[in-house]
A and B are shown apart, each in its own frame.
Chain A
Amino acid sequence: MDAFISGLAILADPTMLFLILSGTVLGIVVGALPGISGSTTTALLLPLTLSMTPAGALAFLGSIYCAANFGGSITAILINSPGDPSASATAFDGYPMAKRGEAGKALGISAIASAIGGIVGVVVLVLIAPVLADMAYEFGPPEYFALSLFGLSMVAAIGGDSPVKNLFAACTGVLLATIGTDLTTGVERFTFGIYALTDGIEFIPVLIGLFAMAELFEQAAQSGQVQTFLKMDAVKLPTMADFRKCAKSIGISSVIGTFIGALPALGATTAALICYNETKRWSKHKEEFGKGAIEGIAGPEAANNAAVGGAMVPTLALGIPGSTSTAIILAGLIIQGVRPGPHLFKEQPTLLYVVLASMLAANLLYLVLGLGAAKLFARIAMIRGGYLWPAVFILSVVGAYAPNQSLIDVWIMLVFGVVGFLFRRHGFSPAPLVMGLVLGKMVEETLKQSLLIFDQSWAMFLTRPIVVTLFAVTVLGLMAPLLARLWRRWTGNGVHHTS
């Protein structure tokens, strides 16, 4: 608690406040741009953190992460084009509301629900993360190996509807993490004699390529299409009656969203979609959903922002990313020389609570900005593609070049832009590749350490209860779709159809 109060005290520093404010504004602005998701936003702005202190970088990235989810709802409501995948569910009812002239109310409830969900997520993070970190002290290399395998197995659920393709992408990311000099033997792997690759592939060009460049190639194919924009009258705050109507959905979605966000790899999009269904299920006005139900906005928005806090729990406590954006934040931390995990809580608790305090501040900031400046942010969504996407390319090039001042990184970005584009065309999601890239070194290091401890005996993994439990959960998770299909077939046999 003392460390948390110290973290809050740092908010009195004007530099930190400036970083949080600029991160929040940038997160809303870039999150509102169609086609640029929260994870792309974080990847694009990651190079800016290189000149910051670790605390400043964390505060900046945390603020962006919180605000981008809300920013995505602006375009979801106004032009039915979610700025972030986590705002997809918001578009189901947000756009119909906007079409009947209630865009302001839709944005208002979106801002309020997002802020409440976000604050719930951060509170849970403050309470749960230290407990999880304490438990993680029982973890040795075998446990971390099993945990990272579990995290990678969960990527089967990210994006697209092909678990096998997602796992293949994740393994590709793990393989990419082996490029460079093997730390235990000093042997160079997959460097092709290129000196710049001896330290491995940099995260930033890969991330920017996979997300921003790939999206650019897709948007180029739509360059001839004309977007229609709805007029937005002055933002009207939701009334108390609206708030009472949404209170239950905000409450339920905040809790579920936090829990789902805490599961490795699931993230805000999954939370939002699940909570949309739950909100509809618990609503007394189910028939309104899909036609402009205000609860249909409140539920998913609370969930996707609650998932932000939830996703930071395994990221900070265990060093296992809870979502694609936290994988990018984790990459940013590694670049800063900070390795999240239980040690962070003991050795640098103030750093940690700076993150939490900044996320709390960001949630409050975008509530104020969202209600007060929604009309202004809405104009961002109207930037024409001919100006926006070439600008994204230039920003990406500069961002990829700046960290090492190397054109090789820019070429890597372009290569991965093509990879990301091809991935999307063939049903592969780039997010699992990012997870694999971020977790790959940890998987290899912990495996080698474990084999060293176990004297090369793989069977010894089965002598550790936590490892066995994690392996079992991993196998169950991978088999879940098959088991679910068998269950449906079995229960379907017992169903009697009546005419």
Chain B
Amino acid sequence: MTTEARDRDPAAAPRPRSAVRISIVALAFCLAAFALTFSFGSIAGEELAGMGSAALFPRLVLGVMAVLALLMAFGIGSPPMELPPPVHRMSVVVGLAMIAFMGAIALVGMWASCVVFLVVVGRMWGERSWVRLTVSAILMCGALYALFVTFLHGVFPVGMIGALLQ
């Protein structure tokens, strides 16, 4: 049934439950992590010393997690819930903007990237005034610079262009 048809008829069948899907993902995670524990090194005699191997505790925890994942599949201790709606476009856009921000740091450094991010994402969020966004971005970054660099003597990336200019 399409979303539109469901919206027209509220009494239509509900979306499929997400419990099994979540359980499968959780179990896959546990299996993958368990497999990784075989890549841990070991030291001679650790078992004899009574400490247990380095992998013992993570495997114990993963075992418990696997049991909990199975309980989720059967809906035990976890009320059924519908599949969540698709991720909102704006959430994806903001996520991509964050990744672009990380790339921009390598190019123009932290502070310039911060100002650009504040202006661009603020605009995407619905703010109309470029001037107000830019002024508030510069003020905020200036305050953070004063606190973390001037006062706390932090060192932040300057990027390739910043390094060339220095």
Contact = CB atoms under 8 A, between A and B. Distances in A.
A233 interface: no
Contact of A394 (B68, B76, B78, B118): B118
B158 interface: no
B54 A389 contact: no
Interface of B is mostly: helix
Contacts of A385: 125-126
Nearest to A217: B91
Given A391-B118, A448-B52, A220 B91 contact: yes
A51 B125 contact: no
Contacts of B162: none
Interface in B20-54: 22, 26, 33, 36-37, 40-43, 46, 50-54
The size class of the interface chain B forms with chain A is 35 or more
B50 A175 contact: no
Given A168-B72, A217-B91, A405-B154, A394 B126 contact: no
Interface in A256-288: none
Chain A interface mostly: helix
A165 interface: yes
A164 B95 contact: no
B150 interface: no
B98 interface: yes
Interface stretch (A178-186, A245-253, A313-321, A326-334): A178-186
Interface residues of A, number: 60
A175 B152 contact: no
Interface string A51-84: 1000000000000000000000000000000000
A240 B16 CA distance: 56
Interface stretch (A27-35, A91-99, A123-131, A450-458): A450-458
Given A164-B68, A390-B117, 13 more contacts: A172-B65, A184-B46, A184-B54, A186-B43, A189-B37, A189-B54, A223-B90, A389-B121, A397-B101, A401-B110, A448-B51, A451-B52, A456-B50
Interface of A: 51, 161-165, 167-168, 171-172, 174-175, 178, 182, 184-190, 216-218, 220-221, 223-224, 384-387, 389-391, 393-395, 397-398, 401-402, 405, 407, 410-411, 414, 418, 421, 425-427, 444, 447-448, 451-452, 455-456, 481
The 8 closest A-B pairs by CB, nearest first: A221-B88, A386-B125, A164-B77, A386-B127, A187-B54, A162-B78, A182-B54, A390-B121
30 contacts: A51-B152, A162-B78, A164-B72, A168-B26, A175-B65, A220-B93, A223-B90, A223-B124, A223-B125, A224-B90, A386-B121, A386-B125, A394-B140, A394-B144, A405-B154, A405-B155, A407-B102, A407-B105, A414-B102, A421-B91, A425-B84, A426-B18, A426-B22, A426-B81, A427-B78, A427-B81, A447-B57, A448-B51, A452-B50, A452-B51
